Chains A and B, each alone.
Chain A
């Protein structure tokens, strides 16, 4: 199970980086979203996957899944959600003002 998840995370990273290196702005944003998904899956895998065990440590529960990676992922998902939505608005405004969404044309100093 861990192997599958790691391969999946690797694919997400790879496609994310590929998209990040494109010229079109929207593709770049999709790339960042894919990379963040990859990172989240990766955290989950690093905490060791387990089925059928509650993520709590209480009396009478001897076999429990590690709750920490889940807490970390939730935080990270919320953050990347917020940043991505901000980035989309920012990209739209930048596109409107500069009349292009091509990164090649969005360079220059001043």
Chain B
């Protein structure tokens, strides 16, 4: 049964190879990809059920025991994020045929897509720091392939910067792994955690320095203030389906890594890393992200900027490092992955419907496309966290955690930035959807409707997360309890 832990990595890898052989037969590729995505979703759902009912699944790669081989750990946190990834993937694969041109699809979209899913799942599931770097590279390579799909002038220009910043942070990652190896003599995360505890107190400073260096690496990938400058332009240039995958998955892999590292390994100096660094950076990330979202009239850029404050909220929960904080953070992470993908899908449909990205040229779209309009409104409510939707539960827990530990400024900043997120989103609704019916709207109603269907699916998942919070919350509380008590992870990897 241990092999279940590696299935979410192997299956999409296999699928990517299968579809790479028949790029020309587009209909067949689409059918295969769609069937496989749904099949994979069911399999991953089963694995999740297995993990939650029978405990953590650990696979020691090649039968080598823990510190020597590479471990794959399907624990509660990683498997629930893998499940969310597969939900988004299943929606994206139905969105892609209507959003991409045939030419773009033929240029191995589905191959890169499955590789991306494989890399993301791998990064979630691996229990080895160096292997995490390898899976980062797998998903980045796939993302390089996806970001240049279309070969536009601006696209190439911005993807160049995207590749460079990621290459630089990857090299820093390798250097940091070398530091870790020189100090504790291992790269297995559970083993590192065990050995870091044994480091004498006067040498703890170097461990903290390494921790901050690793945080820097992941902060670049997760787009945390002040390292988010590369994100808006490079996420806005590709096709909406690619932006949705990036916005929903890539930055979240970065924040997941921070989650993992800072609940498992670097917990010896929380008064500096968690209470000071994370809390302050979370505040700035929220504020600056949302200021960016208010500064532009490009509808897609508004959604892209809204990725950044969400990362701030998740980081805030890690900084609190309490039951409430972590539960809220994980809830918010899941919610944000789903709703960001849904919003990118909707905004892609909106751009097709209105024929422009510029909000100042848009008006009255709701008169022709009422379904799209109301879905967008619903998405706005879900994103901002209006009760009873999923954003509300996460934010409630985060704010409760912040208040109970006396972070009043943080609470205030979080509330204000939520309000500003609502403002930035409702601007699209008021100016784009209301008002006089604009000229130049598309006549292709069927295409717009086809584009909204995957978004409906994701929004209903999101609404389930909110309305069905009583069903979901116990599971998330299990996760946060599990993260706060590190011994279970360490013992299940090293002794399993």
Given the known interface contacts A20-B168, A97-B153, the answer about A43 and B174 at a Cβ–Cβ threshold of 8 Å is yes
Q: Complex: how many Å from CA A80 to CA B278? A: 31
Contact with A along B175-204 (1 / 0, CB 8 A): 101110110000100000000000000000
Question: Do the beta carbons of B181 and A94 come within 8 Å of each other?
Answer: no
Q: Complex: how many Å from CA A98 to CA B159? A: 13
Which residues of the partner chain B approach A110 to less than 8 Å between Cβ atoms? Answer: 154, 298
Min C-beta distance of B300 to chain A, whole Å: 11
Question: Do the beta carbons of B130 and A32 come within 8 Å of each other?
Answer: no
Given the known interface contacts A20-B168, A35-B171, the answer about A90 and B160 at a Cβ–Cβ threshold of 8 Å is yes
A52 interfacial contact with B, CB 8 Å: no
For chain A, residues 78 to 107, give those with C-beta under 8 angstroms from any C-beta of chain B: 79-80, 82-83, 86-87, 90-91, 93-94, 97-98, 106
Q: Complex: how many Å from CA A90 to CA B174? A: 23
Question: Do the beta carbons of B156 and A93 come within 8 Å of each other?
Answer: yes
A109 interfacial contact with B, CB 8 Å: yes
Q: Complex: how many Å from CA A41 to CA B175? A: 9
Question: Do the beta carbons of A75 and B130 come within 8 Å of each other?
Answer: yes
B293 interfacial contact with A, CB 8 Å: no
Q: Which of A35, A68, A90 contacts B163 (CB 8 A)?
A: A90
Please name the residue on chain B nearest to A73 by beta carbon: B174
Question: Do the beta carbons of B153 and A98 come within 8 Å of each other?
Answer: yes
Q: Complex: how many Å from CA A26 to CA B405? A: 51
Min C-beta distance of A14 to chain B, whole Å: 14
Question: Do the beta carbons of B298 and A86 come within 8 Å of each other?
Answer: no
Question: Do the beta carbons of A32 and B181 come within 8 Å of each other?
Answer: no
Q: Which of A25, A87, A97 contacts B167 (CB 8 A)?
A: A87
Which residues of the partner chain B approach A91 to less than 8 Å between Cβ atoms? Answer: 160
B206 interfacial contact with A, CB 8 Å: no
Q: Complex: how many Å from CA A69 to CA B187? A: 10
B276 interfacial contact with A, CB 8 Å: no
Given the known interface contacts A42-B178, A43-B177, the answer about A75 and B134 at a Cβ–Cβ threshold of 8 Å is yes
B208 interfacial contact with A, CB 8 Å: no
A46 interfacial contact with B, CB 8 Å: yes
B101 interfacial contact with A, CB 8 Å: no
Question: Do the beta carbons of B137 and A79 come within 8 Å of each other?
Answer: yes
Q: Complex: how many Å from CA A28 to CA B160? A: 11
Q: Which of A42, A93, A98 contacts B175 (CB 8 A)?
A: A42
Which residues of the partner chain B approach A90 to less than 8 Å between Cβ atoms? Answer: 144, 148, 156, 159-160, 163
Min C-beta distance of A83 to chain B, whole Å: 6
Q: Which of B137, B156, B168, B177 contacts A94 (CB 8 A)?
A: B156
The CB with the most chain B CB atoms within 10 A, among A45, A72, A82, is that of: A72
Given the known interface contacts A46-B182, A72-B130, A82-B141, the answer about A39 and B163 at a Cβ–Cβ threshold of 8 Å is no
Q: Which of A45, A72, A82 contacts B177 (CB 8 A)?
A: A72
Q: Complex: how many Å from CA A93 to CA B159? A: 11
Q: Complex: how many Å from CA A109 to CA B237? A: 10
Question: Do the beta carbons of B181 and A43 come within 8 Å of each other?
Answer: yes
A15 interfacial contact with B, CB 8 Å: no
Q: Which of A47, A83, A106 contacts B160 (CB 8 A)?
A: A106
Question: Do the beta carbons of A93 and B163 come within 8 Å of each other?
Answer: no
Question: What residues make up the interface of B, taking CB atoms closer than 8 Å to A?
Answer: 130, 133-134, 137, 140-141, 144, 148, 151, 153-154, 156-157, 159-161, 163-164, 167-168, 170-172, 174-175, 177-179, 181-182, 187, 233, 298, 301
Not counting A69-B181, A90-B144, a sample of 6 additional A-B residue pairs whose C-beta atoms are within 8 angstroms of each other reads A20-B168, A32-B171, A40-B174, A87-B164, A91-B160, A93-B156
4 nearest A-B pairs in the assembled complex, by CB-CB distance: A46-B182, A94-B156, A46-B178, A43-B178
